[in-house]
Amino acid sequence: MPTEPHRAAAEVPPTGETYWRADDLGKALPNEEHAISVCLPRWQDVIDYEEGRERVMSALRAGYPRFVLPPALRELHRQLDPESGGALALAFGSEAAAERCVKHVEGAGGLARCLTGPPGVPAWVRFGCGDSMQAGWLVWRTFGEGLSSRAARAVLDGVARGVAEETAAGDAVRRRIADEHGVDPGNVFLTASGMAAVGLVARLVARARPGLPLVQLDFPYVDVPRLLRMVAERIDVPRASHEALAALEARIREGRVGGLFTEVPANPLLGQVDLARLGEVARTAGVPIVGDDTVASNFNIGLLPQVDLVTCSLSKWFNGRCNLLAGAVVVNPEGKHAAQWKHGIEQDGITPPGAGDLIELEKNSLDFPARMKTINRNAAAAIEWMRGHPAVSGVWAAEADGGLWRTGRGAGGLFTFSLHGGEAVAAAFYDAVELPKGPSFGADFTMLCPYTLLAHYDELEDVARLGVRRDQIRISIGREPQHWILERLEAGLAAATRA
Residue 60 lies in a domain: no
Q: Which residues pair with 395 in a beta bridge?
A: 417
- 255 part of a folded domain: yes
Phi/psi-derived region of residue 94, left when phi > 0, alpha when psi is between -120 and 50, beta in every other case: beta
Q: Angle at the Cα of 368 (from 154 to 183), degrees rounded to 5? A: 95
CB distance 491 to 431 below 8 Å: no
Asked if residue 11 lies in contact with residue 374, where contact means CB atoms within 8 angstroms, the answer is yes
Rounded CA gap, 243 and 251, in Å? 13
Short-list 219, 377, 392, CA closest to 295: 219
One domain for residues 43 and 98: no
Here the CATH number for the domain that contains residue 34 is 3.90.1150.10
333 cis-preceded (ω within 30 degrees of 0): no
In a domain, 489, yes or no: yes
**CA–CA gap between residue 151 and residue 71 (Å, rounded):** 12
Same-domain status, 115 and 130: yes
Task: State which of 333, 366, 399 marks the end of a domain.
Answer: 366
Please, how many CA atoms are within 13 Å of residue 388, restricted to the half-sphere of its CB? 11
Judgement on whether residues 297 and 338 belong to the same structural domain of the protein: yes
User: What is d(CA 311, CA 292) in angstroms, rounded to the nearest whole number?
Assistant: 5
What is residue 117's predicted lDDT score, i.e. its pLDDT? Answer: 81
Q: Is residue 172 part of a domain?
A: yes
3-state secondary structure the chain: CCCCCCCCCCCCCCCCCCCCCHHHCCCEECCCCCCCEECCCCHHHHHHHHCCCHHHHCCCCCCCCCCCCCHHHHHHHHHHCCCCCCCCEEEECCHHHHHHHHHHHHHCCCCEEEECCCCCCCEEEEECCHHHHHHHHHHHHHHCCECCHHHHHHHHHCCCCCHHHHHHHHHHHHHHHHHHHCCCHHHEEEECCHHHHHHHHHHHHHHHCCCCCEEEECCCCCHHHHHHHHHCCEEEECCCCHHHHHHHHHHHHCCCCCEEEEECCCCCCCCCCCHHHHHHHHHHHCCCEEEECCCCCCCCECCCCCCCEEEEECCCCCCCCCCCCCEEEEECCCCCCHHHHHHHHHHHCCCCCCCCHHHHHHHHHHHHHHHHHHHHHHHHHHHHHHHCCCCEEEEEECCCCCCCECCCCCCCCEEEEEECCHHHHHHHHHHHCCCCECCCCCCCCCEEECHHHHHHHHHHHHHHCCCCCCCCEEEECCCCCHHHHHHHHHHHHHHHHHC
Q: How far apart are CA 269 and CA 468, in angstroms?
A: 7
What is the SS3 assignment for 327-391?
Answer: EEEEECCCCCCHHHHHHHHHHHCCCCCCCCHHHHHHHHHHHHHHHHHHHHHHHHHHHHHHHCCCC
Domain boundary among 122, 147, 172: 147
Paired with 127 in beta bridges are: 112
C-alpha to C-alpha distance for 270 and 412, rounded to whole angstroms: 10
Cα 212 from Cα 208, distance rounded (Å) = 10
Whether omega before 118 lies within 30 degrees of 0, making that bond cis, reads yes
Q: How many domains is the chain partitioned into structurally?
A: 3
Q: Phi, psi (5° rounding) for residue 246?
A: -65, -45
Same domain, yes or no, for 232 and 176? Answer: yes
Q: Is residue 15 part of a domain?
A: no
271 & 319 share domain: yes
In a domain, residue 29? The reply is yes
Task: Measure the CA–CA gap between 124 and 135, rounded to whole angstroms.
Answer: 15
Cα 147 to Cα 329: distance, rounded to the nearest angstrom: 19
| Domain final position from 300, 332, 366 | 366
Shared domain check, 327 and 194: yes
Same domain for 169 and 282: yes
Does 275 reside within a domain? Answer: yes
Answer for the pair 71, 86: CB distance below 8 angstroms, yes or no: no
| Calpha distance 95→100 (Å, rounded) | 9
> Same domain for 177 and 100?
no
Domain ranges, residue 277: 163-366
Residues 205 and 350 in one domain: yes
Do 240 and 106 share a structural domain?
no
Q: Please give the backbone phi and psi of residue 406, each rounded to the nearest 5 degrees, phi first.
A: -75, 130
168 and 283 part of one domain: yes
pLDDT for position 5: 39
**Are residue 357 and residue 382 in the same domain, yes or no?**
no
Distance CA 412, CA 204 (A): 30
pLDDT in tens, the chain (499 residues): 344 433 333 344 445 456 899 999 999 999 999 999 999 999 999 999 999 999 999 999 999 999 999 999 999 999 999 999 999 999 999 999 999 999 999 999 999 999 998 999 999 999 999 999 999 999 999 999 999 999 999 999 998 877 899 999 999 999 999 999 999 999 999 999 999 999 999 999 999 999 999 999 988 888 999 999 999 999 988 877 788 889 999 999 999 999 999 999 999 999 988 888 888 899 999 999 999 999 999 999 999 989 999 999 999 999 999 999 999 999 999 998 999 999 999 999 899 999 899 999 999 999 999 999 999 999 999 999 999 999 999 999 999 987 899 999 999 999 999 999 999 999 999 999 999 999 999 999 999 999 999 999 999 999 999 999 999 999 999 999 999 999 999 999 999 988 7
Please state, in angstroms and as integers, the Cα–Cα distance from residue 186 to each residue in 177, 191, 291, 333, 357, following that order.
11, 14, 19, 10, 20
Torsion on CA atoms 95, 99, 105, 106, rounded to nearest 10: 150
- Looking up residue 289, the CATH number of its domain turns out to be 3.40.640.10
CA angle 497, 498, 499 (to 5 degrees): 95
For residue 55, being part of any structural domain is answered with no
